[in-house]
Structure 1
Amino acid sequence: MNLLMSHLLDTSAVAELMWDRFLAPSTREALDIVAGGAGRGRPLLAWLCGVHDCGKATPAHQRLWSEGADLVRAAGLAWREPLAAAGAKRSRWRHDWAGGLLVREMLSAARWEPGQVDWVWPLVAGHHGAFPTLRDLREPPRSKSQLKGTGRWPEVQQAVLDVLTRELGFAELCEVQPQVVPSRALQMQLSGLVVMADWIASDERHFTGIDDLGSLSLNGARKRAQAAWEVLGLRGGWGAMAVPGPEAFEDRFGCSPRASQVMVVEAARRMGAPGMLVVEAPMGEGKTEAALAATEVLAARFGADGVFVGMPTQATSDPMFTRTRNWLDALDPRLASQVALLHGKRAFNSEWKRLLEDGGEDPGGFFGGVDEYGLGDDPYGATATVAECAAERQAPAEWFLGGKRGLLAPFVVGTVDQLLYAATRTCHVMLRMAGLAGKVVVLDEVHACDVYMSQFLLEALRWLGQARVPVVLLSATLPPAQRRALVTSYLAGAASREEFPVEVPETEGYPRVTAGWLGEGSMPRFYVDASRSWRDDLPVAVVPLPEEVPGPRATSGERNASQAAADVAVGDLLEKELADGGTALVIRNSVARAQSAYQELRGRFGDEEVRLLHARFTVARRAELSEECLELLGPKRPSRSGKGRLVLVATQLAEQSFDVDADLLVTDLAPVDLLLQRMGRVHRHADTLRPERLREPRLYVTGFQVREDREPAFVYASEKIYGRDLLLRTAGVLPASGRWWSVPGGVPTLVEKVYGTHAELLPGSWRSAGAHAAEEQADADQRRAESAREFLLTRHGEHEKPTLAGLHYGGASAGSSEERLQAAVRDGEESVEVILVARNAEGETFRTLRGRSLSINGDVAPELLDEVLGSTVRLPSKFTGDALALTPLPAWHGHPWLGRSRALVLDGARRARLGTAALRYDDLLGLCEEQAGS
């Protein structure tokens, strides 16, 4: 048994340690201002965290445990019980909502100002993850007498609050009253800190029950909290920093800064308040290093204590994890081990696994502990086993790696989804927002957010602006309208305004930087600049390579023949261009097209000279292939003497933050900004040796058919992904064969043309089709934006609300699982992951894909767990309905990591039926959908 006062004091004691050892200087400063002066924020935070469970001092909660209820009644505190069990269930009233009502009443009785009462009670009422409305707090009709009961309940409830208040150093309750109402974003951060303190103080391994009132004291709670904190190994980031000098860049990255990197750091120095930096520079310019250098300046100037680096995909997050650790190692070697990698497949990142091993963990047994999403809402079952020597742990504290807590780690690299989840109306969203507050947020490849994802990005930027979180956005090719929307949303949040029209200044030149912040009187302030690129403009020959595109009524045989002809054309081209050796990158817009091209090229060049990379390999195989491709085509790639060749066939995985350098690129047509991104993988590094015939960069564009006197036709996959409007407009800027694009100088003009309103962009014979496509796209964009709004954290028109009350009321919740969250923020049908296992030839027992035996029921020996989990593959969304019917193998039920995993059982030939589809898994091709009769 644990007395309620014991838990309240324990939670307050944990909050004090969070203030001392975890919170960013900017957060402490903000709370001091709210509390009324320097040094007053710490006891206020401890009080807010401690009071969270005061609603348990009610019959509504005390009646739930019969043995404890008897003790309470014996002390003279009574209540009326419902007459029937069914009535008891209907009469149950949440203690968090009861606590919100109690706090509201008692603070009002203590003569707190109404505005201060209004923001405090939602922190109590919402500490289980969702903020109710004031109407929700009312005592339900069937729960009459469950708040105050009969007898001396009001005195007891007042005593609980008074004792907590006095223990924390306040003479009386009225003395706790803050002096300033915090912004809604700071309230959200405080709510997350309350939840964090509650979860830590609720861990029975570190806070054993106290059942004697005489044993209670704040000093005792502080000793328990101190011991728990040491075992958990929790810590903040780098603490207070001095503004780095000009020499810091070379110290961190081992080279002198380029002109564009100096420009970015200077913009960070000139900002008058926390704000947003938008960095636009060509591929290979060094935007990442510039952003990290600017992060140091922003953190030192504005009191941030860590960084979140968000990338567009899991594949791009992995190399950024390495780069961020290298940067922090140069800043302070003790920090590199504290970087958390945050995405669903991090257990298969070899560097992450080594980090856990060095930290004293068994990464095989840790897979489930790092699952950020699949642990439900239970805050206690999600905690992994605590290391015995946490004080010496050279890895992020395990507590940060439980469900929904990842962003609370001081240094985080992950997908941009992690930030987008913080803008959804989901349970415990305050933990995610608390993790972002107090950091510098860096987002790379922001142009990759489409109109649907952008709704969540813009919502997140509003909250970050109000929270005074410095944000650095990176892009090689950012359309002007998108830049304006991003900056405006951040400044609207900073000004706490629903509508905040601003004129974002433009600047000529490229690379360029745009900095925006609020000055005195909430007036927008800007600093814009441009610089020369580190290398001269490079003329890239853009050569159309049209193919026959079958019409919508084409038979499967006709479609296959067209695809085969297109692959043969690419094969003929590469045989000619790579006759003297060299490397080529082929990017297809769909997995099926990539697999088809790979098979053609493999038949010509052989296994050693062709690689395939896409998202439908198992996670383990994809990780291996990504590492191999980066090694073979990365900045320090091995020299290819003689006529050595290498061809990488890939999907959009190779489009962003994928540091490979090819001599030649063949790509399906895509919107111009993405074409330019892909072009950034060609001749990326100036010092790479290349064959004579490939010393001039060339880009071959395929995936479309030229039609006389009308607009071109596009392959189905490309049109489905990108829409006809942008494909038409991009086709309109493709130069005639043998002409050039100038990179990087011509990049801004190309992007502005395609994303602008230039009526003359399309040839006359295309314009009717172009106008129709533009209208269709506008309608589709509007529908997608509206469909995103049902999941947004804040409804339109409510951004100026002063408190968190009712934040979760109405609308749709995105849910808590990774699949549902990702589907919510990426506008996709909920896709399903399955684990591939095979039956032996006799069909009696199961095997791993590598042929290692499982039992007849699928029992997994501990040494095989990594191998089995590594066989996970995400199915295309069109298979979701059939895949949801899949279940774990019999022996997996109840297993901590496999119990919720669906198994797709392959036969001896690695084939399986899923609904009406025939699937096959191949180590070279990945998951394939086979045509009927093949």
Structure 2
Amino acid sequence: MTLSGFVTDSRSAWGKSAARGAETHHLVHHSADVAAVFLTLLDQPHWRARAEAAVGRVLSAHEMRCLGALVFLHDIGKLAPGFQAKAWPEGHGLTLRGHLECGWLWANLPRQDALAGAIVHLARWPGMGEWLAALFAHHGRPVPKPGSGKASEAFPLLPGYDWQAEEAVLGKALLHWFPEIATAAPPPPAPTFLHFFCGLLTLADWVGSDRRAFPFEAQFRPNYWQTAQERAEARVAAIELGSSPPLRGPAGWGLISDYPAPRPAQQALGALPTEERLILLEAETGAGKTEAALWRFAALLEAGEVDALYFAVPTRAAARQLHSRINLALRRMFDVAPEAVLAIPGQAVAGEAVGTRLPDFNVLWDDGEKNPARWAAEHSARYLAARVAVGTVDQVALGGLQVKFAHLRGTALSRALLVIDEVHASDPYMTETQGALVRSHLALGGHVLLMSATLGAAARRKWRSEPQGDLAADAALPYPAVWTSWGLHPVVADPDGAKTVQVTAHDGWSGADAAQLAIEAARHGARVLVIRNTVARAQETFAACRDHAPDLLLAVNEIPTLHHSRFAVEDRALLDDAVERAIGKVSPLGGRIVIGTQTLEQSLDLCADLLITDLCPMDVLLQRIGRLHRHRRPRPDGFAAARAVILRPEDGLDPLTHRADNGLGAFENGPSLSGVYVDVPGLAATLDQIIEHPVWQIPAMNRALVEAATHPQALERIAEAHGWQSYRMRVTGKALAEMQTAGLCVLDRAAPMLMPNGRVRCFPDDENIRTRLGESGVVLTLPESTVGAFGRPITRLALPAHWSRGLTGDEIVSVTPGQPVTITVSDRAFIYGPEGLRQGGGNDA
């Protein structure tokens, strides 16, 4: 058939618009753009392989063309006059409508001549209801079906705009550009494939909606499909969604490092076949796990197993530090190196370039370049589509939960090696949500590398879907080790990795207690790292040090400060750099004190002389000790041996089973256990090991220490000895409840998108799920020229979730300049300065 001369006399339907409707892109053209991007993605080997893994067989060329035809109809609801009127001059008198709802309403208008008769072919395809549910979820979440009786209201016949004529244009283009639909059909919409399709469609829609690559054409052009294909191929390549550039050379150790030979853990990982898709590397902090992961990435890339890398770490500070290391490594590995994206919400960073978001949704990069490959860095939902990204583990978890853009995140990640650094068992909810995405990632043929210095057997067995084991047997397993589908592979001990640590319990954990210990050591030349369990206790410790020794404190622009999560994004970047300069690998000798919270405990390459830390679970404590004597370098007198002082409450641990204090224990008679670390039996087990073994040999004792304080059998014995059986039951119940809660929130990619009654499986409230992940609460947009804690402009400030109740983020924010500044929003006042964000009343719980 031909499209020549087929035009309508009325107003044309638009698919994209700008300048209040003065500039438009024809609906058929936009539909073609997105379908062309989708098919171009499906032509890439890795996207094709993941799609075929999801469907369970090879896709035929005709099936893929039929999938493209479905994608072509993703915006069919935009035909509705109530949607088109959004770009019309005022006075049209129509009720404005969303195009996704209108898509369902259009489907409730059964007509034999719909889409110029193409509807007859589509109607014979099985599972069209499921396909429509996926099509109308392309803005990030499934959309419920509206009442069928509203269809005629949404599609009235009007003078000046004939939606049926415009539908005929769309239908004729469909028949002309996708003639396969007359004789073929897409694969059946099996759930796993449908969820993958939904994510790939969302990705294609985002790419195909970018005016920089798909310029507007308002008047329908019959030969536009060729243009759309050419633009799609160019754009997919430019933003690095196509095949990876070749490595600089063979994927051997020499590609990764100048060191003459890999260390034992690195060698063990490097020797594994590329067919292994789930690997767990257990090795001490400082064992070179990052380089091992990069070596694995290079091997998989060379073998054609993956096309991208996402490196997930626990904290934003760790992500920033690792991001710099990864960028250096990429320049060594590739002739044309991709820029690693920093996957931290609220930031746009690619390589060394930093972007500023503009009001028109574009980004201005500080190096002046307009590099299309930075596209993935410009929105947090696109981070996982980057060739290489380094970010927080919550971005991975969001791909496994029923939250907006979960389908996009999961599908985008499918081509990548997913590395999760420092997995451990202290958060059952996070473990469950990470596990959900890992399982779906593996089901699509993806590769996963889990790394930990402190993973207990109970958590490891859960990751590996194994039954629980015996304490004695689990504690006797070799360490370090690599786990694969073949089981445990012992790793030879690294002679350069051994570390002796003197551990001491200190009675008293007030801010004054910690400050006194830190000041005394710093005055003897030690670089002291103080890690407190809560922001409030960290601020208390900082205030005590500032009163007596401000010159010894961490400083930014000569302003004494501390490190925690309640700083503006711009100030956090300054803090991260200052910490690395103060106690990093190449930090100078000289006494100083760095005070922080959990933001400093994991995945950071710090090298303190002395650690002062609150009591915490054993796996967390070993992570904190990993920031101590990490490298062989000169030490001040009296600190040649690594030392850790663990602060504990003077009145013992029993009160913590009735009331929470300093992030430990739980509130009495509360509806549920609440606190940072509620497992008091686990804390008691950790304290027992500190007292019984004042000298720890790392990594030789890692396995025994972790099992003694995390294994269920060990904790049951501790609870019985202290009479904490009922409390232990509550802790276990809380963990089970958190896992069940996570299970309710997990996106089940094996479930159909329609329920048996025909209703769409919609997502629950995003905010409740995101808050449970530990994401920030309301983000306040500050007035222009607001000066932050260190004299630099700041633009936004995130409130903790429990300070955000009743706020939307749309309130007017007023700032009273000063040091500190006072920030007023609604009926609340906050103080922001070198101590971070505090409530106006001083209650920083």
User: Quick one: which of 866, 871, 880 aligns to 2:804?
Assistant: 880
| In structure 1, distance between residues paired with 2:496 and 2:506 | 29
Structure 1 unaligned residues grouped into runs of 5+:
70-83, 357-362, 370-380, 489-499, 517-524, 549-562, 839-845, 853-865, 889-901
Do the aligned partners of 1:127 and 1:195 also contact (CA within 8 Å) in 2? yes
**Partner SS for 1:758:** helix
Matched with 2:253 is 249
| In structure 2, distance between residues paired with 1:749 and 1:526 | 20
Matched with 1:861 is none
Q: Say if 1:531 and 1:220 are closer, same or farther in 2 by CA, change over 3 A.
A: same
**Partner SS for 1:195:** helix
> Offset at 1:438?
1.3
**Is the aligned partner of 1:306 residue 2:275?**
no
Name the stretch that deviates more: 196-205 or 777-786: 196-205
Do the aligned partners of 1:405 and 1:432 also contact (CA within 8 Å) in 2? yes
Name the stretch that deviates more: 251-260 or 42-51: 42-51
Matched with 2:456 is 479
Do the aligned partners of 1:539 and 1:740 also contact (CA within 8 Å) in 2? yes
Deviation track 1:710-743 (CA, whole Å, cap 9, x = no partner) reads 9999844333310142554334533337722221
> Offset at 1:426?
2.8
| In structure 1, distance between residues paired with 2:66 and 2:245 | 22
Matched with 1:848 is 787
Deviation track 1:132-175 (CA, whole Å, cap 9, x = no partner) reads 57xx38x712435978999x9999978855752442463x5222
> Offset at 1:878?
4.1
**Is the aligned partner of 1:631 residue 2:581?**
yes
Matched with 1:596 is 540
Deviation track 1:269-322 (CA, whole Å, cap 9, x = no partner) reads 352xxx311111111011111112112223444532111111212111111211
Do the aligned partners of 1:33 and 1:41 also contact (CA within 8 Å) in 2? no
Do the aligned partners of 1:24 and 1:303 also contact (CA within 8 Å) in 2? no
Q: Say if 1:925 and 1:95 are closer, same or farther in 2 by CA, change over 3 A.
A: closer
Do the aligned partners of 1:711 and 1:765 also contact (CA within 8 Å) in 2? no
**Is the aligned partner of 1:143 residue 2:151?**
yes
Do the aligned partners of 2:46 and 2:415 also contact (CA within 8 Å) in 1? yes
> Offset at 1:92?
9.5
Deviation track 1:864-915 (CA, whole Å, cap 9, x = no partner) reads xx8131xx44334443247658833xxxxxxxxxxxxx44545676456789
One-letter code aligned to 1:126: A
> Offset at 1:759?
5.3
Matched with 1:657 is 603
| In structure 2, distance between residues paired with 1:886 and 1:534 | 57
**Is the aligned partner of 1:718 residue 2:718?**
no
Matches within 5 A, 1:530-609: 530-535=491-496, 537-547=498-508, 563=510, 565-567=512-514, 569-571=516-518, 575=520, 577=521, 580-608=524-552
Q: Say if 1:269 and 1:399 are closer, same or farther in 2 by CA, change over 3 A.
A: closer
Percent of residue pairs bearing the same amino acid type: 22
Do the aligned partners of 2:81 and 2:156 also contact (CA within 8 Å) in 1? no
Matched with 1:187 is 194
Q: Say if 1:699 and 1:808 are closer, same or farther in 2 by CA, change over 3 A.
A: farther
Matched with 1:164 is 174
> Offset at 1:774?
1.0
**Partner SS for 1:721:** coil
**Is the aligned partner of 1:751 residue 2:713?**
no
Matches within 5 A, 1:907-926: 910-911=821-822, 919-923=830-834
> Offset at 1:672?
0.6
**Partner SS for 2:436:** helix
User: Quick one: which of 406, 410, 416 aligns to 1:429?
Assistant: 406
| In structure 2, distance between residues paired with 1:278 and 1:776 | 31
> Offset at 1:661?
0.6
Matched with 1:742 is 697
Matched with 1:79 is none
**Partner SS for 1:318:** helix
Q: Say if 1:67 and 1:649 are closer, same or farther in 2 by CA, change over 3 A.
A: closer
**Partner SS for 1:809:** coil
Matches within 5 A, 1:363-378: 363=355, 366-367=356-357
Do the aligned partners of 1:308 and 1:441 also contact (CA within 8 Å) in 2? yes
Matched with 2:31 is 8
Matched with 2:477 is 508
RMSD between superposed Cα atoms in Å: 4.5
Matched with 1:729 is 684
Deviation track 1:677-699 (CA, whole Å, cap 9, x = no partner) reads 111111111x2111342122121
Matches within 5 A, 1:364-443: 366-367=356-357, 382-384=361-363, 393-394=370-371, 396-398=373-375, 401-402=378-379, 404-443=381-420
Matched with 1:814 is 766
Q: Say if 1:621 and 1:509 are closer, same or farther in 2 by CA, change over 3 A.
A: same
> Offset at 1:583?
1.9
User: Quick one: which of 722, 726, 751 aligns to 1:772?
Assistant: 726
Do the aligned partners of 1:240 and 1:305 also contact (CA within 8 Å) in 2? no
One-letter code aligned to 1:257: P
| In structure 1, distance between residues paired with 2:182 and 2:165 | 15
> Offset at 1:851?
10
| In structure 2, distance between residues paired with 1:663 and 1:615 | 24
| In structure 2, distance between residues paired with 1:914 and 1:320 | 35
Matched with 1:695 is 640
- Would you tell me which structure has more helix in proportion to its own residues? 1
Q: Say if 1:249 and 1:596 are closer, same or farther in 2 by CA, change over 3 A.
A: same
Matches within 5 A, 1:56-205: 61-62=80-81, 65=84, 94-98=101-105, 110=121, 117=128, 120-131=131-142, 136=145, 140-144=148-152, 160-161=170-171, 163-168=173-178, 170=180, 172-178=181-187, 181=188, 184-203=191-210
- TM-score, scaled relative to structure 2: 0.80
**Is the aligned partner of 1:355 residue 2:307?**
no
Name the stretch that deviates more: 648-657 or 23-32: 23-32
| In structure 2, distance between residues paired with 1:386 and 1:678 | 36
| In structure 1, distance between residues paired with 2:637 and 2:227 | 76
Q: Say if 1:449 and 1:313 are closer, same or farther in 2 by CA, change over 3 A.
A: farther
Matched with 2:615 is 669
Matched with 2:773 is 825
Do the aligned partners of 2:821 and 2:832 also contact (CA within 8 Å) in 1? yes
**Partner SS for 2:630:** coil
**Is the aligned partner of 1:47 residue 2:69?**
yes
Do the aligned partners of 2:778 and 2:804 also contact (CA within 8 Å) in 1? yes
Matched with 1:785 is 739
Q: Say if 1:766 and 1:385 are closer, same or farther in 2 by CA, change over 3 A.
A: same
Q: Say if 1:94 and 1:446 are closer, same or farther in 2 by CA, change over 3 A.
A: same
Q: Say if 1:117 and 1:908 are closer, same or farther in 2 by CA, change over 3 A.
A: closer
| In structure 1, distance between residues paired with 2:262 and 2:385 | 32
**Partner SS for 1:718:** coil
**Partner SS for 1:734:** helix
| In structure 1, distance between residues paired with 2:468 and 2:695 | 37
Deviation track 1:529-578 (CA, whole Å, cap 9, x = no partner) reads 44323536433221111117xxxxxxxxxxxxxx365246525xx52x55
One-letter code aligned to 2:483: T
Do the aligned partners of 2:297 and 2:417 also contact (CA within 8 Å) in 1? yes
| In structure 2, distance between residues paired with 1:666 and 1:388 | 41
Task: Give the length in aligned residue pairs.
Answer: 787
Do the aligned partners of 1:383 and 1:398 also contact (CA within 8 Å) in 2? no
Deviation track 1:395-418 (CA, whole Å, cap 9, x = no partner) reads 733365246323222222221111
> Offset at 1:668?
0.5
Q: Say if 1:847 and 1:66 are closer, same or farther in 2 by CA, change over 3 A.
A: closer
**Partner SS for 1:308:** strand
**Partner SS for 2:730:** helix
> Offset at 1:248?
1.9
Matched with 2:9 is none
| In structure 1, distance between residues paired with 2:501 and 2:642 | 5
Structure 2 unaligned residues grouped into runs of 5+:
1-11, 15-25, 556-561, 666-674
Name the stretch that deviates more: 395-404 or 757-766: 757-766
